[in-house]
């Protein structure tokens, strides 16, 4: 039993729904109680889909238990076939149905429907959403795709895009464009956008592009074995990764990796002098392993940030993430407990977070700007405009969306110079963000002082200590801020205040000081000046 407040991933059958909902002509009959239909709103509200997910829930009730839940399942499957006439069907159980052991696969087979019916066995009490999507896609491909003669021209399949994925819609378009620059066309993009009939002709592609290892790797491995199709290992997020990806494709196909890069702006945007202020900004990165590792490379080598920490919530990909973290000399955090992530961010005091919607909220609470780079998603992660993450246009989009939460370069200087100005003070926020600039608050804000002896590294303690909306002063050790020093600290612009505070405390602790005066503050500043 594990106490969970917020989760990064849903149950595995939600992963299966992401596959079914992304596809066309596929129907999912899910043995589940009525409340599980909440999952429909993920697609209709968050992703703004204009169709219901192609999912029939049996919605059994207590009175059905022990009686005819099996018949209920059969009726539901038969009715769903009659009504929706899908080309193929997947059947399975949610967590509750798993316990009543009705065997949806066997029941559906007994119906003798004239279409392929693919049973799913998703262990709800062990695995999660990404596994569910990966396994479902794999089972569908295994059941429907066959070895076939290759297409005459060089083609590939794009694997792993699903409904409710982070920018999957636009990534598929962007990678399709990118490959067409090399003269390669897409045979099938799946699961999103594909029908079961499309899956059946996947075998004619020359190779596979694995867009999202989290949701497509099992299928890629299967196709490599069953259809002899190699697959790409590099995920083309970022300029360097996109170029590496093109070379990888070139090695597989013999086609030239030299493509038109005239639409690529990130390198110059990053090199132009306005971006100087980005140098060495401390970023913390958290999300799914694939997006985190690609983001770390962009942050460190293409924008010039300093990666101060990184982690992922999907244990399945802990190994590649650990390897990447090593390259940046940071300790990886592999956890699906957001309280641990929050504690880590509070400890590191980065200047920018690249994370999920969960980290966006952590950032809000800690006063640290955040750009979203990975699922779990929210309605804002489905913009109306074209905004891929992959390929050259993806790199442009990433530059803009990571820089946006920060205060602009010149503004940063002005705020520092005129920080005593009552209107142009730092609490007014960045000028390009919405919201009204508030005059500086002169009185003291309430603060919550963590009781001495409380172990802040244990996330649950941290949780206990938190009172909403009240900034937390965490005395590191026994160091106390003298009133003058504290006032001086507040004059430091908010986007560097956290760092200044942390450095000063560390400086004081290292020297065995118990009090921080204004002098200590400036001595620390001189000490850490870069």
35 counts as binding ligand SF4 under rule CB under 6 A: yes
Given candidates 24, 25, 44, 489, which one binds another protein under the rule CB under 8 A? Answer: 44
Q: 42 or 227, CB closer to another protein?
A: 42
Which partner, another protein, ligand SF4, none, binds residue 6 by CB below 5 to 8 Å per kind? another protein
Angle among Cα 395, 401, 407 to the nearest 5 degrees reads 130
Q: Which two tokens stand for residue 199?
A: 């899956």
Angle among Cα 412, 416, 418 to the nearest 5 degrees reads 115
| C-alpha distances out from residue 99 to 35, 66, 67, 68, 69, Å | 16, 12, 15, 15, 12
CA distance 248 to 267: 21
426 counts as binding ligand SF4 under rule CB under 6 A: no
Find all residues with CB under 8 Å of 445, minimum gap 6, and list them: 470, 471
Given candidates 78, 100, 409, 497, which one binds another protein under the rule CB under 8 A? Answer: 100
Q: Which two tokens stand for residue 158?
A: 């794009």
Q: Which residue is nearest to ligand SF4 (CB)?
A: 35
Find all residues with CB under 8 Å of 400, minimum gap 6, and list them: none
Catalytic residue at 274? yes
183 counts as binding ligand SF4 under rule CB under 6 A: no
Closest approach, Cβ 240 to another protein, in A, equals: 33
Task: With contacts defined by CB under 6 A, name the span among 33-41, 171-179, 263-271, 453-461 that binds ligand SF4.
Answer: 33-41
Q: Which two tokens stand for residue 257?
A: 């990796």
| C-alpha distances out from residue 306 to 265, 310, 433, 468, Å | 21, 11, 24, 30
Classify burial at 435, counting beta carbons within 10 Å of its beta carbon; exposed 0-12, middle 13-18, buried 19 or more.
Answer: exposed
Scan residues 126-155 and list those touching another protein (CB under 8 A).
Answer: 126, 128
111 counts as binding another protein under rule CB under 8 A: no
Which partner, another protein, ligand SF4, none, binds residue 76 by CB below 5 to 8 Å per kind? another protein
Task: With contacts defined by CB under 6 A, name the span among 32-40, 117-125, 237-245, 269-277 that binds ligand SF4.
Answer: 32-40
379 counts as binding ligand SF4 under rule CB under 6 A: yes
Choose the catalytic residue: 79, 274, 400, 421. Answer: 274
Which partner, another protein, ligand SF4, none, binds residue 115 by CB below 5 to 8 Å per kind? none
From residue 71 to residue 110, what is the string marking binding to ligand SF4 with x (rule CB under 6 A)?
Answer: ------------------------xx--------------
383 counts as binding another protein under rule CB under 8 A: no
* DSSP bridge partners of 282: 306
| C-alpha distances out from residue 344 to 263, 308, 330, Å | 38, 11, 12
Q: Please state the φ and ψ torsions of residue 390, each to the nearest 5 degrees.
A: -90, 160
Task: Catalog residues that contact ligand SF4 under the rule CB under 6 A.
Answer: 33, 35-36, 95-96, 378-379
Task: Catalog residues that contact another protein under the rule CB under 8 A.
Answer: 1-7, 9-11, 13-14, 33-42, 44-45, 48-52, 56-62, 65, 76, 79, 83, 94-96, 99-100, 123-126, 128, 357-358, 361, 365, 378, 460-461, 463-464, 466-469
By annotation, the residues acting in catalysis are: 274
């Amino acid at each position: 039993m594990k106490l969970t407040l917020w989760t990064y991933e849903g149950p595995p059958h939600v992963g299966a729904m992401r596959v079914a909902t992304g596809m066309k002509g596929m129907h999912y009959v899910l043995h589940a109680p009525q409340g599980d239909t909440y999952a429909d709103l993920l697609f209709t509200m968050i992703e703004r889909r204009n169709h219901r997910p192609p999912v029939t829930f049996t919605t059994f009730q207590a009175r059905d238990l022990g009686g005819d839940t099996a018949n209920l399942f059969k009726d539901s499957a038969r009715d769903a076939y009659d009504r929706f006439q899908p080309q193929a069907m997947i059947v399975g159980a949610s967590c509750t149905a798993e316990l009543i052991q009705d065997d949806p696969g066997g029941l559906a087979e007994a119906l003798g429907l004239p279409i392929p019916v693919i049973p799913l066995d998703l262990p709800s009490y062990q695995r999660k959403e990404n596994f569910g999507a990966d396994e479902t896609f794999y089972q569908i491909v295994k059941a429907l795709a066959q070895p076939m003669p290759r297409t005459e021209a060089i083609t590939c399949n794009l694997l792993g895009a699903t409904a409710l994925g982070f920018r999957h819609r636009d990534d598929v378009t962007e990678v399709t464009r990118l490959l067409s620059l090399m003269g390669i066309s897409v045979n099938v993009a799946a699961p999103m956008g594909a029908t079961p009939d499309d899956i059946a002709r996947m075998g004619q592609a020359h190779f596979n592009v694995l867009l999202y290892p989290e949701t497509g790797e099992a299928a890629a491995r299967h196709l490599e074995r069953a259809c002899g199709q190699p697959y790409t290992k590099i995920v083309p997020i970022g300029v360097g990764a996109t170029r590496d990806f093109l070379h990888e494709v070139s090695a597989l196909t013999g086609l030239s990796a030299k493509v038109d890069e005239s639409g690529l702006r990130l390198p110059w945007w990053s090199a132009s002098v306005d971006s100087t202020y980005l140098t060495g900004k401390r970023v913390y990165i958290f999300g799914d392993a694939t997006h985190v590792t690609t983001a770390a490379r962009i942050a460190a080598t293409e924008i010039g940030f300093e990666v101060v920490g990184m982690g992922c919530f999907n244990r399945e990909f802990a190994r590649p993430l650990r390897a990447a973290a090593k390259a940046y000399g940071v300790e990886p955090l592999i956890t699906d407990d957001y309280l641990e992530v929050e504690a880590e961010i509070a400890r590191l005091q980065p200047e920018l977070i690249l994370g999920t919607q969960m980290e966006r909220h952590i950032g809000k609470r800690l006063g640290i700007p955040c750009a979203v780079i990975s699922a779990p998603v929210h309605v804002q992660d489905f913009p109306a405009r074209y905004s891929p993450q992959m390929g050259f246009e993806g790199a442009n989009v990433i530059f803009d969306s990571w820089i946006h939460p920060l205060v602009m370069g010149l503004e940063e200087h002005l705020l520092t110079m005129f920080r005593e100005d009552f209107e142009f003070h730092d609490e007014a926020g960045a000028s390009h963000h919405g919201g009204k600039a508030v005059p500086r608050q002169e009185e003291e804000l309430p603060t919550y002082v963590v009781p001495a002896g409380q172990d802040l590294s244990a996330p649950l303690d941290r949780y206990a200590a938190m009172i909403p909306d009240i900034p937390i002063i965490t005395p590191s050790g026994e160091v106390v801020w003298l009133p003058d020093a504290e006032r001086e600290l507040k004059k430091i612009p908010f986007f560097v205040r956290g760092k200044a505070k942390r450095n000063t405390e560390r400086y004081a602790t290292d020297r065995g000081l118990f009090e921080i005066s204004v002098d200590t503050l400036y001595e620390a500043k001189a000490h850490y000046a870069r």
